[in-house]
Amino acid sequence: MPKTMELFVQPIVPQRIARLNEIAFNLWFSWNPDALLLFSSIDRDLWKKTGHNPIKFLKEVSQHKLERASRDRTYLSEYNKIMAAFDHYLSETDTWYDHRFGGRNETIAYFSAEYGLHESLGIYSGGLGILSGDHCKAASDLGLPFIAVGLLYRHGYFSQKLDGHGNQIAEYIDNEFEEMPICRVYKDEKPLIIAVDIAGRKVYVNIWEARIGRISLYLLDTDTTLNNENDRLITYQLYGGNLDMRICQEIVLGIGGVQALQTMGIKPTVWHMNEGHSVFMGLERIRNQVKNNGLNFHEALEVVRAKTVFTTHTPVPAGHDVFPLEMKDRYFRHYWEEVGLSRDEFMGLGAEETPSKGFNLTRLAFRIAHYTNAVSLLHGQITSKLWEHLWPDIPAEENPIIYITNGIHTFTWITPPMADFFDQYLGQEWRSNLSKPEFWQKIHDTPDDIYWGVRQDIKRKMIEVIRANLKKQRIRNVASTTEIKNIESILDPDILTIGFARRFATYKRANLIFRDLERLKRIVNAPDRPVQIVFAGKSHPADHPGQDVIRQIYNISQMPEFRKRIVLLENYDINIARCLVSGVDVWLNTPRRPYEASGTSGQKVAVNGGINLSILDGWWAEGYREGNGWAIGDEREYDDAEKQDVEDSNSLYFLLEEEIVPLYYKQEEKGYSPEWIQMSKESIKTIVPVFNTDRMVREYTRKCYIKASDSGKRRFVDSHAIARELAAWKRNIIDNWKDVRLSMADGDDSSIIFGRSKPIAVLVYLGNIQPRDVMVELYVKDNEGHIHLVVMETAECEMQNVKCEMQNTECRSQNAECRMQTERAPAVQIAEVGEYRYQSKFHPSDSGRYTISVRIIPCHPELLHKHEMGLCKWV
């Protein structure tokens, strides 16, 4: 045999189209499909083969094809148009942020463990990563001074294959960094590398940059020969390994992320932790304040808290990272010594009040960040209740946790045919009116027949992708020739198509629709009104119950009665997600309420004309309106999971049989159902302008980023004088709060005649606390028995030099309104030192029953939330 050698000849992009490299290295292409046509139109087969990866494509494309494109007038015309749009986008200064907040010197740093931006950058697993990616894209669109920090995984999340029995096979394929839209960060003409201390050893970290429109995402990886083999593995796998690997990843993300920004000379004014994975960034910033500015830990904490934002996405206790205390000993012993804390003081920042006494990172995040939020209205209520022990004696609905409902980056998730339809019938201005509900009224004026035609074309394309996925799966599993040939008869674009695609966690109940197989058989095989269902999703390799659900669905899909009506796709990723959310008629979502924090897949369906069929959980509890989709079950929680499953599945079957299927097939001579199209358009009208990241990031900016920047800057004034004074004040309050007590001063008349006032007086013993340091509040609740009783603003008592002014407030219930008026009254000091009398008169605006109480809380002008200390005493 003669000796041979392999020689790879890399093409050179011709000068005339040389800026293709710029497009390839900016993820702006991920929400500008016309830019991707510049690549796919050169070689469509190679474009598919390279997984829609422009970097890899340019490394493998034929030189001759590149030369041909550089001489093609039609191609050059499109190239020039795209480059002009790209340049305009990057240079634009007339952005929303510039209009609202121009002139501010800000940098917002956003930390997340995963980012789902495009299939060519495989560093995401699911919803959290997709949300992070969409957040970054919207920040770019809106012109925010924004940078992001994450980890660059060698393996990323796993690639899923299904064998011939429906078993999930997890494969980890190396990410080739040189084939991804990222570049090494250089300093002084050398690749920038930082060293992070992990349990007393130095771990070296590479820094990469991904461009996302106008902003940068910095990615950290430890896969360098400077590290030992174990440390090189820290960033190998997303959500892989044991607890030691997990804490090491989070140290690299949080502590390493702060150090990376410092080394690059980036000085954020706001820090945003997306979930608790990056919470150690707060600890590192506290350490810097102690070392560099001479603050003690508590003073440094006031500085850091004031400009830190924390978003929690998990509504169940089991979803939060918890580490054994002995593990925290191993990794953070030197830390608490450096910042001047005892072990008990440090552990108290995150230790759970449970027998296991684990260290909870979410608990730590709530301690370190002042601006905290959940990701939907319902999730906000659940989260406030879940974490109410952090603010003892404060009603859950009053604690500092707010909510900002998740949205989607519309331009990423709208399919090009639907975007073209909007361009033609709504005008290009729909792109700049994304969050204006009044604009989207116009969708009902668009022609039904054209709209239906577009929807059907999108569905046909989806079915082609599904069949290709199934064919690849069956060939690999050595299916028979007949089985492979029969794929062409699977799914029909004229049949009502339901989609279900998401992570196969058991609480998402992917198998709920299979509780009554006989009933489902009748639904999907109805002679004149059949139904077909497409499933896709992964289960974490350690989640065996989730994999059991996948196997169950696969086996049902192979039953003769379901073989052409139910399909299960493998390797669910961004590309398949785009395909499914754009092509299905109905999107099924069946989580066990209230475990869905938000969810966004249904929002992606709506922008493409699909209709949601969902449990009233997460975002759908806000988005559902009669006429824009269907709600499964009732808006309630259950103590009995089996009863919940029975009632929800019966509701699902009823909706399919009595409403959804009949409406879809009410097609008459037009070939489509006008009523169905009206509901589809109503879905667009009500969901698109609200559930998008344009609205979401604006909300973060107004409610969190600007406020955090302002409060953070105040903490830096006069060598951190405010932070020092506030920390000392809090220590005094905490030390003396045990002595505070209050009691009613006068007799308790249980009733009065309408039109008269109710005098209320309390005796308050403050001990060593001054009256100016507390607020005494009259707390009134309407209690007429309405099930949606709304709590009560309080009549606030602001103390200045032992004088108290009780202000007006309103208490609203479902069917009654109560306006409480109070009269000014002094806080009179009693004979006992440190004891004061507070009195007021309450004037009911209506008859009825009221619950009246009085409470006292700490009060200081520099508190960022009245309940941030979590201290309160009631009569």
pLDDT tens digits, residue range 19-53? 999 999 999 999 999 999 999 999 999 999 999 99
DSSP letters of 329-347? HHHHHHHHHHTT--HHHHH
Kindly report the three-state secondary structure assignment for every residue of 237-267: ECCCCCHHHHHHHHHHHHHHHHHHHHHCCCC
∠ CA 783-788-794, nearest 5°, is: 55
* For residues 694-709, average pLDDT: 98
Query: Which pLDDT band holds residue 107 (cuts at 50, 70, 90)?
Result: very high
Torsion of CA 396, 397, 400, 406, to 10 degrees: 110
Taking alpha carbons only, the member of 23, 33, 154, 44 closest to residue 90 is: 23
* For residues 793-808, average pLDDT: 32
Query: Which pLDDT band holds residue 747 (cuts at 50, 70, 90)?
Result: low
Q: Are strands 359-360 and 371-374 parallel, antiparallel or unpaired?
A: unpaired
Query: Which pLDDT band holds residue 785 (cuts at 50, 70, 90)?
Result: very low
Distance CA 610, CA 687 (A): 11
Residue 794 predicted with pLDDT over 50: no
Q: What are the angstrom distances between the C-alpha of 362 and each of 110, 130, 200, 248, 251? A: 17, 21, 25, 17, 15
Q: What are the angstrom distances between the C-alpha of 489 and each of 469, 483, 486, 494, 565? A: 14, 10, 5, 13, 10
Residue 147 predicted with pLDDT over 60: yes
List all residues 6 or more positions away from 268 whose beta carbon is below 8 Å from its beta carbon: 107, 108, 109, 147, 261
Specify the pLDDT at position 750. 75
Distance CA 487, CA 557 (A): 13
3-state SS class at 205: strand
Neighbours of 659 (CB within 10 A): 12
Specify the pLDDT at position 783. 63
pTM of the model: 0.93
pLDDT tens digits, residue range 632-645? 999 999 999 999 99
Query: Which pLDDT band holds residue 1 (cuts at 50, 70, 90)?
Result: low
* For residues 685-689, average pLDDT: 98
pLDDT tens digits, residue range 537-547? 999 999 999 99
Specify the pLDDT at position 266. 98
Residue 3 predicted with pLDDT over 90: no
Specify the pLDDT at position 845. 74
Specify the pLDDT at position 292. 96
Residue 755 predicted with pLDDT over 90: no
Torsion of CA 55, 57, 62, 65, to 10 degrees: -100
Distance CA 112, CA 549 (A): 29
* For residues 55-61, average pLDDT: 98
Residue 487 predicted with pLDDT over 50: yes
Query: Which pLDDT band holds residue 789 (cuts at 50, 70, 90)?
Result: very low
- Contact between 142 and 698 under an 8 Å Cβ cutoff? The reply is yes
Specify the pLDDT at position 843. 76
Residue 814 predicted with pLDDT over 70: no
The residue that leads in pLDDT, 828 or 131, is 131
Distance CA 310, CA 473 (A): 41
Average pLDDT value for the chain: 91
Residues counted in the chain = 875
Query: Which pLDDT band holds residue 850 (cuts at 50, 70, 90)?
Result: confident
Residue 291 predicted with pLDDT over 60: yes
Q: Which of 246-250, 424-428, 748-752, 787-791 has the lowest mean pLDDT?
A: 787-791
Torsion of CA 198, 203, 206, 207, to 10 degrees: 20
Query: Which pLDDT band holds residue 669 (cuts at 50, 70, 90)?
Result: confident
pLDDT tens digits, residue range 162-217? 999 999 999 998 999 999 999 999 999 999 999 999 999 999 999 999 999 999 99
3-state SS class at 491: coil
Specify the pLDDT at position 313. 94
Q: Which amino acid is at 592?
A: R
The residue that leads in pLDDT, 116 or 854, is 116
Q: What share of the chain is helix, strand, coil (3-state, %, to 5)?
A: 45, 20, 35
Q: Which of 122-126, 469-473, 491-495, 793-797 has the lowest mean pLDDT?
A: 793-797
Residue 508 predicted with pLDDT over 80: yes
